[in-house]
């Protein structure tokens, strides 16, 4: 069976890898010159089932109000004429009920756990180098009340099997010795030992090489998909800047752009792009950098060490498909970096990046068959696409191959 994957981000590449494992012949069409150069390029690097909460919750509105008082939180809802944003927002509000939050977070957590299992297996099988770290992730709090609140928040995932440790101030310093000079900033933390950090751009590119080396995969870089042609509710071919391509089945994995392509064949995807920012700075003193992934839960800033680079990410800006950035967008990130890990990296040499999270109102990705008989979806992974990548890729490859997925997938069907 020949399968064509549209998009070579981390989601497209994991899908291609598992399709090849299932014995398919795969073509990937990617408009950029390599894999993982869009949203998968600059994310915070956390491979974290511990973040598998839906953003739509009863506390979302409180957070929106907090962000009006404290602009450092980086949450901005830009009011503008944008019917797509209005529709998305109404739908998001509908998912904020506690019962919906529980359902969405639970489904997401199950997929994230499965995805972590699949990542570990993929690492055993391929020995990919993507600056991965197995030191876990620390969620740090600045005061006792916040720490109590965070413990309660995490109860939901602990009840479902996530293993966590509660760290007081001393235990936190032991886990992150680089905090010693600023020991008073944080009261304590929650620590997730099983979570990982790693560079999803490097991972995507290494996985692309593995796919090409298989001999059954063709990747067309610089192939911008312009039109999807159908014949009686079946895709007949895909027209890209590098020609026309045909396959038996098609997987859409075009990240934030997926909605535009799906609409051409009458499939509506509730995906809105939510912008975030990150910096990547060269580490100049390894001992002064955090070893585990690090999340300042009050400032909503997350960071990962990728070898000799420190990645720090934040913000959620509702501003359409605009990917531009200005120096002021990085002020809060730089302020926190210089406050907490001042001697770790050369922040004057940081590279700046902005990218769009492909977000659904429920924060759940959409996986599996669409209303077009040979079009499969692996889209809408929002704030957690790196974490969900291996699990979602395997699930979609199984569905395409007609093999029952090893994890529950009903919650991710289109329209759920």
Residues near ligand FAD (CB under 6 A) are 6-12, 29-32, 37-40, 43-46, 200, 224-225, 253-257, 261, 276, 278, 302, 313, 355, 357-358, 381-387
- Report the nearest approach of ligand FAD to the CB of residue 169 (Å): 25
- Report the nearest approach of ligand FAD to the CB of residue 170 (Å): 27
Decide: helix, strand or coil at residue 384: helix
DSSP sequence for 106-163: HHHHHHHHHHHHHHHHHHHHH---S--B-S-EEEEESSHHHHHHHHHHHHHHHTTT--
- Report the nearest approach of ligand FAD to the CB of residue 290 (Å): 14
Report the residue number, 256 or 405, with the smaller CB distance to ligand FAD: 256
Return the H-helix or E-strand segment holding 336: helix 331-340
Report the residue number, 46 or 167, with the smaller CB distance to ligand FAD: 46
- Report the nearest approach of ligand FAD to the CB of residue 203 (Å): 10
User: First CA to last CA across the chain, in angstroms?
Assistant: 28
- Report the nearest approach of ligand FAD to the CB of residue 401 (Å): 20
Report the residue number, 24 or 208, with the smaller CB distance to ligand FAD: 208
Report the residue number, 187 or 381, with the smaller CB distance to ligand FAD: 381
**Which alpha helices (DSSP H) does 22-58 contain, by range?**
none
CA-to-CA distance for 113 and 78, rounded, in angstroms? Answer: 34
Report the residue number, 286 or 323, with the smaller CB distance to ligand FAD: 323
User: Running DSSP on this structure, what letter comes out for residue 181?
Assistant: G
- Report the nearest approach of ligand FAD to the CB of residue 234 (Å): 20
Report the residue number, 147 or 312, with the smaller CB distance to ligand FAD: 312
- Report the nearest approach of ligand FAD to the CB of residue 394 (Å): 15
Report the residue number, 136 or 187, with the smaller CB distance to ligand FAD: 136
Nearest-CA neighbor of 34 among 182, 263, 222, 281? 222
CA-to-CA distance for 208 and 247, rounded, in angstroms? Answer: 19
Q: How buried is 77 (Cβ within 10 angstroms: 0-12 exposed, 13-18 middle, 19+ buried)?
A: middle
Report the residue number, 101 or 386, with the smaller CB distance to ligand FAD: 386
**Is the Cβ–Cβ distance between 123 and 203 less than 8 Å?**
no
CA-to-CA distance for 141 and 329, rounded, in angstroms? Answer: 23
CA-to-CA distance for 140 and 75, rounded, in angstroms? Answer: 20
- Report the nearest approach of ligand FAD to the CB of residue 104 (Å): 16
**Is the Cβ–Cβ distance between 116 and 134 less than 8 Å?**
no
Report the residue number, 9 or 405, with the smaller CB distance to ligand FAD: 9
Q: 134 φ, ψ to 5°?
A: -100, 25
Instruction: Let me know the angle formed at the C-alpha of 132 by 130 and 381, rounded to the nearest 5 degrees.
Output: 80
User: Running DSSP on this structure, what letter comes out for residue 411?
Assistant: G
Nearest-CA neighbor of 217 among 414, 30, 416, 408? 30
Report the residue number, 206 or 313, with the smaller CB distance to ligand FAD: 313
**Which alpha helices (DSSP H) does 232-312 contain, by range?**
258-263
- Report the nearest approach of ligand FAD to the CB of residue 180 (Å): 25
- Report the nearest approach of ligand FAD to the CB of residue 365 (Å): 8
């Amino acid at each position: 069976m020949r399968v064509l994957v549209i998009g070579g981000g981390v989601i497209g590449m994991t899908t291609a890898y598992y399709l090849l494992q299932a014995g398919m012949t795969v073509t990937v069409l990617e408009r950029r010159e390599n894999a993982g150069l869009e949203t998968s390029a600059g994310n915070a690097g956390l491979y974290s089932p511990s973040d598998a909460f839906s953003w739509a919750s009863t506390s979302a509105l409180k957070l929106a109000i907090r962000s009006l008082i404290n602009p450092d939180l980086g949450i901005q809802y830009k009011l503008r004429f944008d019917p797509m944003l209005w529709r998305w927002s109404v739908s998001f509000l509908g998912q904020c009920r506690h019962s919906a939050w529980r359902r969405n977070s639970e489904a997401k957590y199950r997929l994230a756990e499965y995805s972590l299992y699949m990542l570990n297996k993929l690492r055993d099988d391929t020995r990919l180098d993507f600056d991965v770290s197995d030191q876990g992730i620390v969620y740090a709090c600045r005061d006792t009340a916040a720490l109590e609140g965070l413990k309660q928040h995490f109860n939901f995932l602990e009840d479902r099997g996530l293993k966590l440790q509660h760290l007081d101030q001393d235990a936190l310093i032991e886990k992150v010795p680089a905090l010693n000079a600023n020991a008073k900033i944080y009261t304590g933390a929650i620590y997730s030992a099983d979570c990982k950090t790693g560079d999803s751009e490097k991972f995507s590119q290494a996985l692309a090489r593995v796919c090409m080396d298989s001999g059954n995969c063709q990747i067309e870089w610089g192939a911008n998909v312009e039109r999807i042609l159908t014949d009686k509710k079946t895709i007949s071919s895909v027209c890209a800047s590098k020609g026309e391509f045909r396959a038996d089945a098609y997987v859409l994995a075009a990240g934030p752009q997926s909605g535009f392509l799906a609409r051409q064949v009458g499939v509506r995807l509730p995906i809105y792009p939510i912008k975030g920012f990150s910096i990547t700075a060269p580490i100049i003193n390894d001992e002064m950098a955090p070893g585990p992934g690090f999340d300042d839960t009050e400032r909503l800033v997350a960071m990962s060490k990728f070898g000799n680079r420190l990645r720090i990410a934040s913000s959620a800006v509702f501003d359409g498909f605009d990917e531009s950035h200005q120096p002021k967008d990085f002020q809060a990130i730089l302020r926190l970096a210089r406050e907490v890990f001042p001697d770790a990296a050369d922040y004057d040499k940081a590279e700046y990046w902005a990218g769009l999270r492909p977000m659904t109102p429920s924060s759940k990705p959409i996986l599996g068959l669409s209303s077009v008989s040979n079009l499969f979806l692996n889209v809408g992974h929002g704030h957690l696409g790196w974490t969900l990548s291996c699990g979602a890729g395997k699930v979609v490859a199984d569905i395409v191959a007609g093999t029952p997925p090893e994890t529950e997938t009903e919650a991710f069907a289109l329209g759920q």
